[in-house]
Structure 1
Amino acid sequence: MTIHYTALTGALAAQTALAAASHNIANVMTPGFTRQGALFAAVGPFKGGVAATGGGVSVPALLRFSDGYKSMQMWQANSELGRYNTSQPYMRQLEQVMGDDGSSLNSGLDLFFNALNAASVDPTSAPLRQQVITSAEALAQRFNNLNQVLNNQRASVAQQRTASVAQVNSLSAEIADLNEKIAATRATGINPSSLMDARDLKIDALSNLVGLQVVEQADGSASVSLRSGVPLVAGSLAATLSTVNNPDGSQTLKLAFASESFTVTSGNLGGQLGGLDEFERTVLKPVIDDVAALAQAIATRVNTQMAAGFAMDGTPGTDLFQFDAASTGLLKVVDGLLGEDLAFSSDPTKPGNSDNLQALIGLRDQPLTVPSLGTVRLGDIYTQIVGRLGTQNQQARAAHDTAKTVRNQAEESWKSTSGVNTDEEAINIVQYQQMYQANMKVLAVSNELFDTTLAMFG
């Protein structure tokens, strides 16, 4: 009877292993599926004595071939990829717009100062004076168009951040729900592998939105937190992330967990939220500030120089530009200004004098202090802004390519442990089939021995 029971345990164990291999092959194309395998354990003898054999084999559990380190590497790589995937389109658009001759501020400045140079040939010419006003209006329009693009990008960043926050909340709630199911399933002795696969897929999707730290708990659940340590998911509890609009147009992230509330600091968010924050903070905001500073400098210096001269009728000069940092129309030519009002002369009695006009032309070579550039020649500011943006975009593209490579390598590393290898599973099936057949042969022999023993006493 001992031989019969031992062979039966072997056949049942082989069946379980075959079922696991079959399940693996069936899910070879299932995203995020983690392969499983039977864990064999020898059963000790049922009675004492030096001749007592073991009681066969048992399958105490199905192994889930999961490597927490490789999973974490894959999620971290996904955070970096999400970070650069998000910022790249904004940077490309900004570089294209600012580098295009049709919208370039440099082209507008060239046309404006060229018109001033042309007027110096005959400062009393009405058409040449009007051309200065026309070129000033065109320059103001370029500033306003660019400012509109920058404001649109900032609004788009805010909108995408709000959408990403909603996704973070949805995924966090789903992970918390799966945590609860996993813990309950394990407590009843049921294999929770499919639930854990579903949860890991949710964590991977969440890692694309924001950088994470993940810690597996004893009950099978996973605690998820931001890189700063602020909790997102703990057991069956999920945090709620929200955006707060600030008066300066920026946004602050707030997180509520249980009865606690946290302000999420920027700078190391990772994922899409980190990419949006980094782009807005290190690229978009400096460009907005620099463009506004350039517009204000042009308006202030041109107006100051105009005030030092005299119009055609000998009256003191008036402002040419009007600057308004709070408006979408960043710069404009003063309403109703005529060519004859331009103060080109330094002598009220000499309309043909061009001394003040020459001073206006010289403004282009004057130094100006800009927030993110330092002291720069006024005519070179826009070139340096575009140059800096090009460098940032080039670095971001290189970082994006690196992040994509790292993610691919992390996925391959994960698959080497957790992915299904059909060749390996085919070998396993043959081995478990042989194991099953051998144990069934032992059962047949055991039956023959039992029948022979009965016949002896018949």
Structure 2
Amino acid sequence: MKIQQIALSGAMAAQAALNTTSHNVANAMTPGFTRQGALFSAVGPTAAGAAGSGNGVRVPSLIRFSDGYKSHQLWSAASELGRHETVQPYLKQIEQVMSGEGSSLNKGLDAFFGALNAASVDPNSAPLRQQIITEAEALAQRFNGLNQVLLNQRLSIGQQRGASVTQINNLAEQIARLNGEITAAESINVNPSGLVDERDLRIDELSQLVGLSVVDQPDGSRSVSLKSGVPLVAGAVAGRMELVNQLDGSQAIEVAFAKESFKVRTEGLAGQLGGLYEFEDGVLMPTVASIASLAEELATRVNGQLAAGFAPDGSPGTDLFVFNGADGLLSVRPGATGDELAFSSDPLQAGNSDNLLAIIGLQNQSVPIAGLGSVRMGDVYTQLLGGIGIRSQQSQASFDTAKTVRDQAQQSWASTSSVNTDEEAINLVQYQQMYTANMKVIQVAGELFDAVIGSLR
């Protein structure tokens, strides 16, 4: 009887809906899971006539509750969060090291010029002269220690960048593989929702490492590229990112895709990779250059002023500092002694301190510093430290904002795609009632059939 066929279609549709709801409830705590729903479609009548009510219901497909806009917002927020999250530890380390008592260049400069001031009371005092040598060596150690910390940060950045590139390549390969599996599943009419969820998770992880542009394709795959347009994934094909070491110690990026090679601009990369480049190019290396510039100016000006004076024995002044421009290191000239310091402006007046006073006055002279311009020598380090502090505060504020945006994007995505157990509980009751009602119709149809057979006996 037709009534049985219609009721059976209703029971089967209810069963499909119950299966879908059960799957949603089972995955309520699964990260990245997107809930699904049964799509009901009425089956029209197959015969003409005003009394043709139709032939029941069918479930042509399942609905995947996903909003592409919200997914893209989620990935964009992940890129910004990764960008600021990566920079913050490096900024805090620089700020702590530069402001520490044992590494502060201000402390070293004050001690060095303090020793010079002390010697001005008695320019011929051997202990006071030797104290100047001692403070000069300590100052050089502070310069070199700080320089080493900064260079170690650059080394750490390079290692972290290499690890990020390895992760990017692995994730790109996984996304390409999932693209192929999703396309194959759709071609044989298999629901690929689980594969799509896994692919979205991989894209989300990738977006934390670098800013992305994601485009849906008609075959169900997704093309993934950098914001600059350089491709990473197209269909089932993945590109490969590589770091290229430059002569100046920096690292460039290239992407090999198919038979092509693309150079990647490091500006605006976003994600962890972009944050590392921004910190290295915008903070770390300018700070290294400024400190090296201060060391060079200190060595050049002190040595130059000493060359204009005379030692107690009347001999011309010799250099106190040695600056190595290749690695930015500062040192005291090997073998330098206190009795060689040329404090006198007159070779015949051993007790004259005119040249010593000129050396002391260097602390108040303006010197050209890379990245800062003309700055009083005694204020250079203060300006550097203040700039780092401001950048650290700005970075922390940006990180807090990015985290809030990411949390909001996550909540927005969840409002559409995540499982609501209360809603699913209501669905279970409704679909159970639907199933029970259709089974009741089948029972009634059987009773009617029996009645008809009985009337013919």
TM range (shorter): over 0.9
Q: Within the alignment, does 1:273 sit opposite 2:305 as a pair?
A: no
Which deviations, in whole Å up to 9, do the C-alpha atoms of 1:33-83 show, x marking residues without a partner? 100110011111011111111111110001111111111111111111111
Deviation at 1:299, TM superposition (A): 0.5
Aligned counterpart, 1:378: 377
TM-score (normalizing by structure 1): 0.99
The correspondence of residues 68-79 of structure 1 with structure 2, limited to 5 A, is 68-79=68-79
1:419 aligns with 2:418: yes
The equivalent residue for 2:344 is 345
1:182-225 per-residue CA deviation (whole Å, 9 max, x = no partner) reads 00011011110111111111111111100111111111111111
User: 1:2: Cα distance to partner?
Assistant: 1.6
Distance 1:119 1:400 in 2: 50
TM-score, normalization by structure 2: 0.99
Shift of 1:446: 1.1
Find the counterpart in structure 2 of residue 296 from structure 1.
Answer: 296
Confirm whether residue 60 of structure 1 aligns to residue 94 of structure 2. Answer: no
Measured in 1, the distance between the counterparts of 2:403 and 2:56 equals: 50
Letter in 1 for 2:82: G
Q: Identify which range, 74-83 or 390-399, moves more after superposition.
A: 74-83
Counterpart Cα distance in 2 of 1:179 and 1:311: 79
1:8-407 equivalences under 5 Å are 8-327=8-327, 330-407=329-406
Give 3-state SS (helix, strand or coil) of 1:50's partner.
Answer: coil
**What letter is aligned with 2:266?**
S
Note the C-alpha offset of 1:84: 1.2
TM-fit CA distance, 1:351: 1.0
**Inter-partner Cα distance in structure 2 for 1:447 and 1:114:** 109
State how far apart, in whole Å, the 2-side matches of 1:222 and 1:457 are.
Answer: 64
TM-aligned CA deviation for residue 327 of structure 1: 2.9
Shift of residue 95, structure 1, vs aligned partner: 0.3
Q: How many Å separate the matches in 1 of 2:103 and 2:370?
A: 23
Where does residue 428 of structure 2 map in the other structure? 429
Deviations 1:431-450 (A, max 9, x none): 00111111111111111111
For residues 126-161 of structure 1, the C-alpha deviation after alignment (integer angstroms, 9 at most, x for no partner) is 100000110000000000000000000000000100
- Cα distance in 1, alignment partners of residues 92 and 327 from structure 2: 26
* SS at structure 1 position matched to 2:218: coil
The alignment-based identity, stated in percent, is 63
- Give the Å deviation of 1:456: 2.2
Q: Which amino acid aligns with 1:71?
A: S
Q: CA RMSD in A?
A: 0.8
| Secondary structure, aligned partner of 1:78 | helix
Number of residue pairs aligned between Structure 1 and Structure 2: 457
Q: Distance in 2 between matches of 1:316 and 1:142?
A: 29
CA distance in 1, matches of 2:368, 2:264: 33
Letter in 1 for 2:124: T
Structure 1 residue 101, shift from structure 2 partner = 1.6
Equivalent residue of 1:263, what SS? strand
Whole-angstrom CA distance in 2 between matches of 1:13 and 1:235: 34
**Aligned to 2:61, what secondary structure does the other structure show?**
strand
Deviation at residue 370 of structure 1 after TM alignment: 1.6
Q: What is the distance in 2 between the residues matched to 1:264 and 1:419?
A: 36
Give the drift of 1:309: 0.5
What is the distance in 2 between the residues matched to 1:434 and 1:404? 44
Amino acid at match of 1:20: T
* 3-state SS of paired residue (1:60): strand
One-letter amino acid matched to 2:205: A
Q: Within 2, Cα distance between the matches of 1:47 and 1:370?
A: 91
Tell me the amino acid that sits aligned with residue 78 of structure 1.
A
Tell me by how many angstroms 1:377 deviates: 0.6
| One-letter identity of the residue aligned with 1:447 | G
Secondary structure, counterpart of 1:242 in structure 2: strand
* 1:440 alignment partner in structure 2: 439
1:371 is displaced (CA, Å) by 2.2
Letter in structure 2 aligned against 1:50: A
What one-letter code is carried by the residue in structure 2 that aligns with 1:172? A
After superposition, what is the alpha-carbon deviation per residue over 1:209-255, rounded to whole angstroms, capped at 9, x for unaligned? 00111111111111111111111101000010010111111110111
CA distance in 1, matches of 2:212, 2:299: 47
Residue aligned with 1:135, SS? helix
**Alignment-mate amino acid for residue 399 of structure 2:** H
